[in-house]
Amino acid sequence: MVDVILGLQWGDEGKGKIVDFFAPRYDIIARFQGGPNAGHTLYVNDKKIVLHQIPSGIFHEKTSNLIGNGVVLDPVTFRKECEAVASFGIDYKKNLYISQRAHIIVPTHRALDKASEISKGNEKIGSTLKGIGPAYMDKTGRNGLRMGDLLDKSFTTEYIKLRLKHQRLLDGLNFHDDISIWEEEFFEAIEFIRQFKVVNGEYFINEKISQGRKVLAEGAQGSMLDVDFGTFPFVTSSNTISAGVCTGLGVAPQKIKDVIGVSKAYCTRVGSGPFPTELTNEVGEELRKIGKEFGATTGRPRRCGWIDLVALKFACMINGVTKIVMTKADVLDAFEKLQVCTGYNINQQVTDEIPFQMSRVEMSPVLKSFKGWKTDIAPIKDYNALPPQMQEYVQFINQFLGVNVCYISNGPGREQLIENM
């Protein structure tokens, strides 16, 4: 049996904290897509750590963690993350497995990412520049190197071939940065990564499932950044939605039970692209300030706005969401008035569907207002003790989406999660 936790917005919904909270109920936590573009923040013994590629179950002794075939893995970032995890007294090698089919991000992927963004000028995606797009392009283009290739004697030869191919592309883009330091780090990290358990991930996970073990698939990014269903071209390069679990781990769809979607009580986006409910005024500033909305991977300020129920309903449909976790509800404590988006106004017509090409249409959100609760909800542990205005806000969302908010997160701490089943 496999449950999934994934983001329903444009990423940074608080997936890391939620996975860390649920991890003790599972035997395996498995990342199925994305790479070091992700930044999942956890608080362990009140100390902060940001995970990029290591699954958020790593702090639980009895939980195994798998980096699935759908992930693109950067050995350099991975090594740094391992060191950060070790500083918590965790033996990261013990419970960590890597699929031999996971593709490797090489230094020239990062260079290509940068060169591609520069060449796009004002139309840049706002990529994290971690080499994600180029690495997935090499996967679908049938060129990339995989973790299993590390065992092969021809790894360095294959690497050089790939590098030469990339060099021609970089020359075409007029990109001449010196990446020799990146390369040095890369080969050191390759030696480091050789110590890990590189497994046949699909057999590993299916065997565990047939033994009755419980798997939690951890998504990265968010549904609106999905390469097929997100706000293309301002998306990431993987399938971030629940379907990605099947291809990113090698599990059949019938094995998936709960799809737990994580959404903030408002909305943020980092990088370029459409964001219908964005607030470019002082209310947006206030959300950023109170919510500490700065990227966990790049430190960039996140764009902030009201919750977008049109996009959320779309995400629930595409993912088959069975339960919603609403995070950062405490961030709304200070606001007199809250708004939620229930439709888009496009050419004087209101729609509750996501348009094909959001970035090319003039649209404005249809907003419904709610009275704020003006109460410090952080210490609250019970749903019924939440202010009535907040319960009203949540009930409206439940009704609109047809899926219930089953958990409310009211602070970054592990224990700050209110159940509402």
φ, ψ of residue 397 to 5 degrees: the values are: -65, -45
The binder of ligand GDP chosen from 2, 3, 4, 7 (CB under 6 A): 7
Q: What angle do CA 312, 32, 202 make, to 5 degrees?
A: 140
Q: Kindly state the tokens that stand for 62.
A: 């009895």
The binder of Mg ion chosen from 189, 267, 296, 324 (CB under 5 A): 296
Q: Residues 254-293: x/- map of binding to ligand GDP (CB under 6 A)?
A: ----------------------------------------
Does the annotation count 40 as an active-site position? yes
Amino acid code (one letter) for 237: S
Nearer to ligand IMO, 221 or 410 (CB): 221
Size of the site for ligand GDP (CB under 6 A): 21
Nearer to ligand GDP, 14 or 343 (CB): 14
Name the binder of 108 from ligand GDP, ligand IMO, Mg ion, none, CB < 5-8 A by kind: none
Q: What b-and-e string marks burial along 235-260, b requiring 16 or more CB atoms within 10 Å of the CB?
A: bbbbbbbbbbbbebbbbeeebbebbb
Name the binder of 17 from ligand IMO, ligand GDP, Mg ion, none, CB < 5-8 A by kind: ligand GDP
Does the annotation count 333 as an active-site position? no
Amino acid code (one letter) for 305: G
Residue where the block lists tokens 């080499």: 131
Q: Which of 40, 60, 103, 166 is catalytic?
A: 40
**39 in contact with Mg ion (CB under 5 A):** yes
Name the binder of 125 from Mg ion, ligand GDP, ligand IMO, none, CB < 5-8 A by kind: ligand IMO
CA nearest to 276, candidates 366, 167, 408: 366
CB under 8 Å to 261, separation ≥6 — which residues?
A: 6, 7, 8, 223, 315, 316, 319, 321, 323, 324, 325, 403
Site for ligand GDP in 302-361 (CB under 6 A): 327-328, 330-331
CA nearest to 28, candidates 322, 330, 249: 249
Other beta carbons less than 10 A from residue 351's beta carbon: 14
φ, ψ of residue 415 to 5 degrees: the values are: -85, -5
Nearer to ligand IMO, 22 or 373 (CB): 22
Q: Which of 12, 226, 308, 330 is catalytic?
A: 12
Residue where the block lists tokens 């002082």: 282
Burial, 203: exposed, middle or buried (Cβ in 10 Å; 0-12, 13-18, 19+)?
exposed
Contact criterion met (CB below 8 Å) for 357 and 294: no
Site for Mg ion in 7-26 (CB under 5 A): 12
The CA distance from 186 to 159, in Å, is 11
**15 in contact with ligand GDP (CB under 6 A):** yes
The CA distance from 166 to 78, in Å, is 22
**12 in contact with ligand GDP (CB under 6 A):** yes
Q: Residues 32-51: x/- map of binding to ligand GDP (CB under 6 A)?
A: -------xxx----------
| Shortest CB 40 distance to Mg ion, Å | 6
Q: What torsion do the CA atoms of 200, 205, 208, 210 make, to the nearest 10 degrees?
A: -110
Name the binder of 130 from ligand GDP, Mg ion, ligand IMO, none, CB < 5-8 A by kind: ligand IMO
Q: What b-and-e string marks burial along 398-408, b requiring 16 or more CB atoms within 10 Å of the CB?
A: eebbebbbbbb
| Shortest CB 270 distance to ligand GDP, Å | 9
Name the binder of 327 from ligand IMO, Mg ion, ligand GDP, none, CB < 5-8 A by kind: ligand GDP
Nearer to ligand IMO, 7 or 284 (CB): 7
The CA distance from 172 to 32, in Å, is 33
Binding site for ligand IMO (CB under 6 A): 7, 10-12, 37-40, 125-128, 130, 132-133, 220-222, 225, 236, 270-271, 296
**35 in contact with Mg ion (CB under 5 A):** no
Q: Which residue is nearest to ligand IMO (CB)?
A: 271
Nearer to ligand GDP, 334 or 363 (CB): 334
Nearer to ligand GDP, 108 or 221 (CB): 221
CB under 8 Å to 214, separation ≥6 — which residues?
A: 1, 3, 25, 26, 27, 28
Nearer to ligand GDP, 99 or 240 (CB): 240
The binder of ligand GDP chosen from 16, 144, 248, 343 (CB under 6 A): 16
Site residues, ligand GDP (CB under 6 A): 7, 11-17, 39-41, 296, 327-328, 330-331, 409-412, 416
Residues with a catalytic annotation lie at 12, 40
Site residues, Mg ion (CB under 5 A): 12, 39, 296
